[in-house]
Chain A
Amino acid sequence: MPRFLSSIGATERWLILVIACICIGLSLATDTFFTLVNAFDLLNSSAVNVIFAAGLLVVLVAGGIDISFAVGASVVQYLAVIALMKLGGGNWAIGLILAAFFGFCLGAVNATLIYHFRIISIVVTIATFNLFFGLLMFFTGGVSIYLLPDWMTRRVILFEHETPAGWAEITLPVLVMAVVVLATWFLMRKLSLGRQIFAMGDNVEGARRLGINIGAMHYLAYGWLGACAGIAGLMQAHYAQEVVPNALYGRELEVLAAVVLGGARLGGGRGTLLGAILGLALVAITQNGLNLLGVSPYAFRMIVGFIILVAISMSGETLGFLTERMRRSRRADDVASGGAE
């Protein structure tokens, strides 16, 4: 096995294999899939989800979960656009800083409720999911914003190349995605604070006894996701050229499923960025392929759901875990139920 493959986890290797198979299949079945144009399109349209996923991974590794980040991103879109208009337009730098800041604040709301009020994260974020979305709908009356600052709607092309199939372009969201992924990787793998987040997700009592500041880690993890979500919201507004209140509604589960598919453990302590990205890639490539194959869009969700289920139940580690569990519980069942006779 090449060194690159042996240094990554079993889940990631499995996903690479599955994705490779799907890609080969699609390349043979269509003549549009295996083109630079399509590859770059996929990249441009997946950037927003990857930014979400990077942030969500931090929260999952910390041992929490967040359902509210996608609607939080919608809230940030409104707040950022309104603030930018008040400031007289602004520019990309100000826009990104504002979006990250507003996002961080929403994340901090979650962190406060989870840490100080000792409510479990899924309950808190289901509540804030409703709260954020409810507030947004109430104050906007469901009205979209089409009048964005000029710089926000102007496409920023970083790289272009003419091919027989048309122009292949890489746009700004891809760069932002790369920066966010690199920053998250640096935080989680290379910085002491990231290791403390890992430690907290792995064994919170052990982390507390070592003197890790559990509260600060909560603000860091949920704040990081909030900031990522804010940035992703801005990118989505840029990509769609409008701000619609329910544009991101439902995106949270899509991203969550993909990140968990990538090997992040619900319960904390385990998860890789590569896995999260591969999880998203699997879903995105499948959807893209279905599109190119001319399958009815109504069937997309069904097929994507099916593929997630198959991929997650076939991955080596899950398989080993399940058989172990079944063996153990059968033993226990036998003892317990047998005793009743």
Chain B
Amino acid sequence: MNNDATTDERGPYLLRLEHVSKRFGGVQALDDISFNIRPGEVLCLAGENGCGKSTLIKTISGVHRPEPGAVMEWEGQDMTGLDPARARAMGIQVIWQDLALFPEMSVAENIAFERNLGARPRVVDAAAMRREAGAILERLGVSIPLDAPVRSLSIANRQLVAIARALVADARLVFMDEPTASLSQKETDALIAIVRRLSEQNIAVVFVSHRLAEVLEISSRVTVLRDGRYVGTYSTEGMTQARLTELMTGSSFDYAARPERTDRPAPILSVKNLTREGEYRDVSFDIAPGEVVGLTGRLGSGRTELALSLFGMTRPDAGEIIWQGRPLRLQSNRDAIRAGIAYVSEDRLSLGLVQPQSIADNTVVTVLDRLLGPGKLLSPKKKKRLVDDWIDRLRVKIGAAGDPVSTLSGGNQQRIVLAKWLATEPKLLILDSPTVGVDVGARAGIFAIVDQLAKDGLAILLISDEAPEVYFNADRILHMRDGRLIEEFIPARTTLDHVEEAIHA
């Protein structure tokens, strides 16, 4: 927690910032930030959305100029007055979340694109590009076909191409903005191995992630920002997720398993020996009104496939779905919605809104038919009643219902997405990975809603690959592996460590 000295026993800093502030008009985006990193160090930059992480990265990479009075040093030399080209020349590389790759171009050209830059026309040396790209990928210890267009690659491989491109430019400090947001556990592990490798090659890495377990695993120190202010820099040794969350949000969350339910109402949904060849096999479980059932397992364990069958998107080969005591045959998801089953997938929660349209319009888009007034025209009165009702029930903080959705914070946007699906009045809500790419504070908000909905009598199937998420928010946890339901946990009777071990075993 030594923030002030230029050096300490572990050697000189590669980059040292003090008193860095940045204002945009009336908004204080950064307020007196300190930040430092040593060569080869892996450091995490943590904070909720809008805390100033991106502004800080842009300041360090020369996109923004800090307010006067800032100290910015690179290997002990003043580096204020930086511009993006100079930052890159010094070895500062940023891998943005959107990766900024060229999808139509080959892997080799993407990696070695630096050779094409410059205003003076040069003849392209394709062979040299391939050599250079091949050498870098080898250094990373990965193999990706050099001639394949980037659009044909998986997201994990695109990530590697972006990292490789940063290394071509002799990077000494690499920023990775949410690199794991759309990766599976296995791909994330591979990425962490690569980060370690970079660190061994004396390249400093600043890692930005919402997944706190990852943050603690990968980095030696973590710098926390909140609302544009510097909270502190902490060693990750002895740091817990709960403590880190508290530092990031400024408030502590109650982390306790839900008490075991004593009542056993009749199940609303029973699944008996459900099988779909190649996806899941012999799955049986039931879920009662007011119950939150967590469904976990690694990516590819069949949990999403099972959910899609329950929503009528795919048809099981064998087995039965009993819905409210009667067998249910789903021909399509229309049938499922009619029966009262709603499915909110991961991308719907993050991308399921028409940003420029109003909050009201987004909320009612799933139920327009129910809002018809005389002459089959939309009735503004019915619409307003429905919108007001949901905004009130989900406690969405809004200015006016006519404002564009884009004016809302991430957490409130997610409430609108939920409202949109809840407006169909489901009895079973399937939430697939609802917190991917969502920051800690907003996650707590989503689970508060889940809790409230369960209390109102909705059955909720919560799918997540993060053990703590199901452990703290579900009444029961179903664990799937290789398409089979292998065990069931009751959080109140077990520990989080036990559940995590079982999943990662």
Interface set of A (CB-CB < 8 Å, partner B): 189-193, 195-196, 198-199, 202-203, 205-207, 209-213, 216, 269-270, 331, 334-341
Could you write out 10 A-B pairs with CB less than 8 Å apart? A192-B121, A192-B123, A193-B121, A206-B101, A206-B102, A209-B84, A331-B313, A338-B338, A339-B342, A339-B421
Instruction: List the B residue with the shortest CB-CB distance to A334.
Output: B333
**Is there contact, CB below 8 Å, between B119 and A206?**
no
Closest 8 CB pairs of A and B: A206-B100, A338-B334, A340-B369, A339-B366, A202-B102, A269-B104, A195-B116, A192-B116
- In B103-150, the 8 Å CB interface with A consists of 103-105, 109, 113-124
Chain A nearest CB from B5 CB (Å) reads 34
Contact pattern, B 311-345, Cβ under 8 Å of A = 1, otherwise 0: 00100000000000000000011101110001100
Closest to B162 in A: A206
Query: Apart from A338-B338, A339-B342, A339-B421, what 16 extra A-B contacts exist at CB < 8 Å?
Result: A189-B124, A191-B121, A192-B122, A196-B116, A198-B104, A202-B103, A203-B103, A205-B100, A206-B100, A206-B101, A216-B119, A334-B333, A338-B337, A339-B366, A341-B337, A341-B369
Q: A4 to B172, alpha carbons, bound, how many Å?
A: 43
CA distance A340 to B376 in the complex (A): 14
Please name all residues of chain B whose beta carbon is closer than 8 Å to the beta carbon of A198 when the two chains form the complex.
Answer: 102, 104-105
CA distance A195 to B113 in the complex (A): 9
Q: Mark B79-106, 1 if CB is under 8 A from A, else 0.
A: 0000011001000000010111111110
**What's the nearest-Cβ distance from chain B to residue A341, in Å?**
6
Q: When the two chains form their complex, are residues A202 and B104 in contact, meaning their CB atoms are under 8 A apart?
A: yes
Q: Name which residue of chain B comes closest to A341, CB basis.
A: B338
| Closest chain A residue, CB of each to CB of B348 | A335
Would A211 and B102 be within 8 Å (CB), given that A192-B121, A196-B117 are in contact?
Answer: no
Residues of A contacting B: mostly: helix
Q: Is the CB of B116 within 8 A of A199?
A: yes
B243 proximal to A (CB < 8 A): no
- Interface residue B271 (Cβ < 8 Å from any Cβ of A): no
- Asked whether any CB of chain A lies closer than 8 Å to the CB of B242, the reply is no
Contacts of A205 in B (CB 8 A): 98, 100
Q: Choose from A212, A331, A340 the contact partner of B117 (Cβ within 8 Å).
A: A212
Given that A209-B96, A334-B332, A338-B337 are contacting pairs, would A192 and B115 also be in contact in the complex, using a CB cutoff of 8 Å? yes
A210 with B113: CB separation less than 8 A? yes
A residues near B334, Cβ cutoff 8 Å: 334, 337-338, 341
State whether A339 touches B115 (Cβ < 8 A): no
CB distance from A85 to the nearest CB of B (A): 35
- Residues of chain B within 8 A (CB-CB) of A340 are 366-370
B202 within 8 A of A: no
Decide if B365 is an interface residue (CB 8 Å cutoff): yes
Q: How far is the CB of B146 from chain A (nearest CB, A)?
A: 16
Give the chain A neighbours of B366 by CB distance below 8 A.
336, 339-340
Q: Are the C-beta atoms of B84 and A211 separated by less than 8 Å?
A: yes
A209 to B58, CA, bound (A): 11
Instruction: List, in ascending order, chain B residues with CB within 8 A of A212's CB.
Output: 117
Alpha-carbon separation in the docked complex, A193 to B115 (Å)? 11
CA distance A209 to B165 in the complex (A): 13
For B115, the chain A residues whose CB sits under 8 A away are 192
Identify the closest chain A residue to B103 (Cβ): A202
A338–B104 CB distance below 8 A: no
Q: Is B424 an interface residue (CB 8 A)?
A: yes
User: Is A199 a contact partner of B113 (Cβ separation < 8 A)?
Assistant: yes
Cross-interface CB contact of B102 among A193, A199, A213, A335, cutoff 8 Å: A199
Please determine whether B123 and A190 come into contact, CB atoms closer than 8 angstroms: yes
Residues of A within 8 A of B365 (CB): 336
The chain A residue sitting closest to B335, CB to CB, is: A338
Q: Which residue of A is nearest B122, CB measured?
A: A192
The residue in B102, B115, B333 that gathers the most chain A C-beta atoms within 10 A of its C-beta is B102
Q: Which residue of A lies closest to B336 (CB)?
A: A338
Q: List the A side residues contacting B368 at CB < 8 Å.
A: 340
Contact flag A191-B122 (CB < 8 Å), given A211-B84, A212-B117, A338-B332: yes
In whole Å, how far is B106's beta carbon from the nearest beta carbon of chain A? 11
Question: With contacts A203-B100, A340-B368 known, is A211 near B121, CB below 8 A?
Answer: no
Contacts of B96 in A (CB 8 A): 209
Q: How many angstroms from the CA of A340 to the CA of B122 in the assembled complex?
A: 59
Which residues of chain A come closer than 8 Å to B102, judged between CB atoms? 198-199, 202-203, 206-207, 269
When chains A and B are docked, how far (Å) is the Cα of A195 from the Cα of B126? 11
Name which of B104, B119, B124, B366 has the most chain A CB atoms within 10 A of its CB.
Answer: B104
Residue of B nearest to A336 (CB): B366
User: How far, in Å, is A264 (CB) from chain B's closest CB?
Assistant: 11
Interface pair A339/B121, CB less than 8 Å apart: no
* Residue among A191, A206, A212, A216 having the largest count of chain B Cβ atoms under 10 Å: A206
Specify which chain B residues have a CB less than 8 angstroms from the CB of A199 in the assembled complex. 102, 105, 113, 116
Known pairs A198-B105, A199-B113; A209 contacts B124 (CB<8 A): no
A202 proximity list for chain B (CB < 8 A): 102-105
Identify the interface centre among A193, A213, A335, A340: most chain B CB within 10 Å of its CB: A335
Interface residues as binary, B408-428 with A (CB distance below 8 Å gives 1, 0 otherwise): 000000000000010110000
Chain B residues, Cβ within 8 Å of A196? 116-117
Given A339-B367, A341-B369, does the pair A195, B424 have CB atoms closer than 8 Å?
no
Inter-chain CA distance A281–B192, complex, in Å, is 53
In the complex formed, the residue of B with least CB distance to A195 is: B116
Q: Is the CB of A192 within 8 A of B370?
A: no
Cα–Cα, bound, A206→B100 (Å): 4
Q: In the bound complex, what is the Cα–Cα distance between A70 and B151 (angstroms)? A: 34
Complex alpha-carbon distance, A270 and B106, angstroms = 12
Pair A210/B104 contact, Cβ less than 8 Å: no
CB distance from A221 to the nearest CB of B (A): 14
Q: Which residue of the partner chain, among A203, A206, A339, contacts B424 with CB atoms under 8 Å?
A: A339
Contacts of A334 in B (CB 8 A): 332-334
Decide if A213 touches B337 in the complex (CB within 8 Å). Answer: no
CB distance from A203 to the nearest CB of B (A): 5
Closest to A271 in B: B104
The answer to whether A195 and B109 touch across the interface, beta carbons within 8 angstroms, is yes
Partner of B124, one of A190, A206, A216: A190
Query: In angstroms, how far is the closest chain A Cβ from the Cβ of B346?
Result: 14
Point out the residues of chain B lying under 8 angstroms from A213, CB to CB: 119
A340–B366 alpha-carbon span in the complex (Å) = 6
Complex CA distance for A306 and B115, rounded to whole angstroms: 44
Q: Which residue of chain B is the closest to A186 with respect to CB atoms? A: B123
| Chain B: minimal CB distance from A175 (Å) | 24
What CA separation (Å) do A263 and B249 show in the bound complex? 51
Taken together as a complex, chains A and B put the C-alpha atoms of A244 and B334 apart, in Å, by: 62
Q: How far is the CB of B341 from chain A (nearest CB, A)?
A: 11
Query: If A191-B123, A192-B117, A195-B109 touch, does A339 touch B101 (CB 8 Å cutoff)?
Result: no
Closest residue on chain B to residue A216 by CB atoms:
B119
Nearest chain A residue, comparing its CB with the CB of B169? A210
Cβ of A200 to closest chain B Cβ, rounded Å: 9
The residues in B between 411 and 455 inclusive whose CB is less than 8 angstroms from any CB of A are: 421, 423-424
B161 → chain A, closest Cβ, in Å? 12
CB distance from A52 to the nearest CB of B (A): 23
Report which residue of A189, A198, A203 has the largest number of chain B beta carbons within 10 angstroms of its beta carbon. A203
Which residues in window 337-359 of B have CB below 8 A to A?
337-338, 342-343
Interface residues of B in 49-85 (CB under 8 A from A): 84-85
Q: Is B333 within 8 A of A210, CB to CB?
A: no
Question: What is the bound-complex CA distance between A331 and B343, given in angstroms?
Answer: 13
Instruction: List the B side residues contacting A191 at CB < 8 Å.
Output: 121-124
Would A192 and B118 be within 8 Å (CB), given that A202-B105, A206-B101 are in contact? yes
Q: Which residue of A lies closest to B366 (CB)?
A: A339
Q: Cβ of B124 and Cβ of A339 under 8 Å apart?
A: no
Bound complex: CA A240 to CA B85 (Å): 52
Expressed in whole angstroms, the minimum distance between the Cβ of A92 and any Cβ of chain B is 26
